[in-house]
């Protein structure tokens, strides 16, 4: 199976066999910590995960799990990672973004053994938005750190990432929960995780960043519905009262991911049984 990409991007990763279960992990800054709780429950239940595609924060968590498929290996990061570990914020850095992405790329290098996307243990892909041509792109090969940086590059916050002759930003702008890409992989079962089901958690709209983030959330929410419809099941952790630009509530977001997935687990197992997909 091959995920098609435009000719100016690196050759897409070729899968050895069609995935049975694919995960689509949605974006949402530090709300993405909830994905670790989701992965923890699925792992404990023995749900096979054959492909992960992520947008924004979903690509960050997704790449680390695809590189080392053990949810417990991410627990230490949940407890210690703060916004300052990810955002090298400066009002004077650039006219197109307050965060360069260098700290984020260093974080990825430190926590991923795979230098390239195609080298992960579980096949993985990151969604990006191509500002040059106004389209959504899927990166399933190429250098890991800048690709995931591009997937996470929230407009008006991060500087865009220049790669392949393109200007790339947050994949969530056009495809924040890429269940359609998971489905296009040929997967028998697609599980989507929407960590921005309640986008009103962006309450502050009294400054430039707040306006930008709310605008992005509204646009992403508008485009999200047809993507979610392509999933067999959608897990939506209740993160309404957790600010998504703060790392102070990581454990709370993680627990909400666990809670939502445990509630959905009977339905997930029933779907797998119906498809004849055994748990480990």
pLDDT in tens, 237-270: 999 888 877 767 889 999 999 999 999 999 999 9
Q: Nearest CA to 20 among 191, 176, 245, 164?
A: 191
**How confident is the model at residue 4, as a pLDDT?**
46
Is residue 6 scored above 60 in pLDDT? Answer: no
Q: Nearest CA to 216 among 166, 175, 250?
A: 175
Query: What is the dihedral sign for C-alpha 193, 198, 201, 204?
Result: positive
> Residue 98 — φ and ψ, nearest 5°?
-85, -15
**How confident is the model at residue 199, as a pLDDT?**
58
- Is 141 part of the annotated catalytic residue set? no
The 10 Å Cβ neighbour count of residue 162 is 12
For tokens 């089901």, the residue is: 197
**How confident is the model at residue 173, as a pLDDT?**
92
Higher pLDDT, 273 or 197: 273
pLDDT in tens, 178-195: 999 999 999 999 999 999
Mean pLDDT of 155-167: 91
The mean pLDDT of the chain is 88
- Cα–chain center distance at 158: 16
> Residue 55 — φ and ψ, nearest 5°?
-120, 135
For residues 25 and 261, what is the distance between their CA atoms, to the nearest angstrom? Answer: 13
**How confident is the model at residue 277, as a pLDDT?**
97
Q: Which of 170, 180, 194, 232 is catalytic?
A: 170
Describe the chain by its helix, strand, coil percentages, rounded to 5. Answer: 45, 15, 40
189 within 8 A of 20, measured Cβ to Cβ: yes
Which pLDDT band, with edges at 50, 70 and 90, does 217 fall under?
Answer: confident
In the chain, the percentage of residues whose pLDDT exceeds 90 is 65
Least confident of 8-22, 227-241, 250-264: 8-22
Least confident of 24-33, 96-105, 154-163: 96-105
Higher pLDDT, 3 or 185: 185
For residues 188 and 95, what is the distance between their CA atoms, to the nearest angstrom? Answer: 45
For residues 176 and 197, what is the distance between their CA atoms, to the nearest angstrom? Answer: 11
Is residue 12 scored above 50 in pLDDT? Answer: yes
**How confident is the model at residue 208, as a pLDDT?**
67
- Is 67 part of the annotated catalytic residue set? no
- Which pairs with CB-CB distance under 8 Å and at least 24 residues apart come from 94-98? 94/159, 96/159, 96/160, 97/153, 97/155, 97/156, 97/157, 97/158, 97/159, 97/160, 98/157, 98/158, 98/209
Is residue 202 scored above 60 in pLDDT? Answer: no
**How confident is the model at residue 262, as a pLDDT?**
98
- The residues facing 233 across adjacent strands are 191
Q: Which H or E run contains 272? A: helix 250-275
Higher pLDDT, 79 or 25: 25
């Amino acid at each position: 199976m091959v995920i098609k990409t435009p000719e100016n991007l690196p050759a897409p990763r070729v899968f050895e066999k069609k995935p049975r279960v694919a995960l689509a992990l949605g974006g949402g800054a530090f709300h993405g910590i909830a994905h670790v709780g989701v992965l923890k429950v699925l792992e404990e239940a023995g749900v096979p995960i054959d492909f992960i595609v992520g947008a924004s924060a979903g690509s960050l968590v997704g790449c680390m799990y695809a590189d080392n498929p053990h949810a417990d290996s991410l627990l230490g990061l949940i407890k210690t990672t703060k916004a300052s570990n990810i955002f090298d914020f400066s009002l004077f850095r650039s006219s197109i973004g307050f965060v360069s992405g260098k700290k984020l790329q260093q974080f990825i290098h430190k926590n991923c053994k795979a230098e390239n996307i195609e080298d992960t243990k579980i096949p993985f892909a990151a969604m990006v938005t191509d500002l040059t041509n106004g389209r959504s792109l899927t990166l399933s090969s190429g250098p890991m750190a800048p690709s995931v940086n591009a997937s996470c590059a929230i407009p008006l916050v991060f500087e865009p990432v220049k790669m392949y002759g393109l200007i790339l930003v947050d994949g969530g702008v056009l495809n924040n929960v890429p269940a359609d890409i998971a489905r296009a992989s040929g997967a028998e079962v697609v599980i989507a995780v929407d960590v921005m089901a309640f986008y009103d958690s962006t309450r502050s709209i009294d400054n430039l960043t707040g306006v930008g983030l709310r605008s992005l959330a509204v646009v992403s929410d508008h485009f999200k519905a047809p993507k979610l419809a392509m999933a067999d099941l959608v897990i939506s952790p209740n993160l309404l009262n957790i600010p998504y630009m703060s790392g102070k509530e990581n454990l709370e977001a993680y627990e909400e991911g666990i809670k939502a997935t445990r509630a959905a687990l009977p339905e997930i197992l029933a779907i797998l049984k119906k498809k004849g997909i055994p748990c480990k």
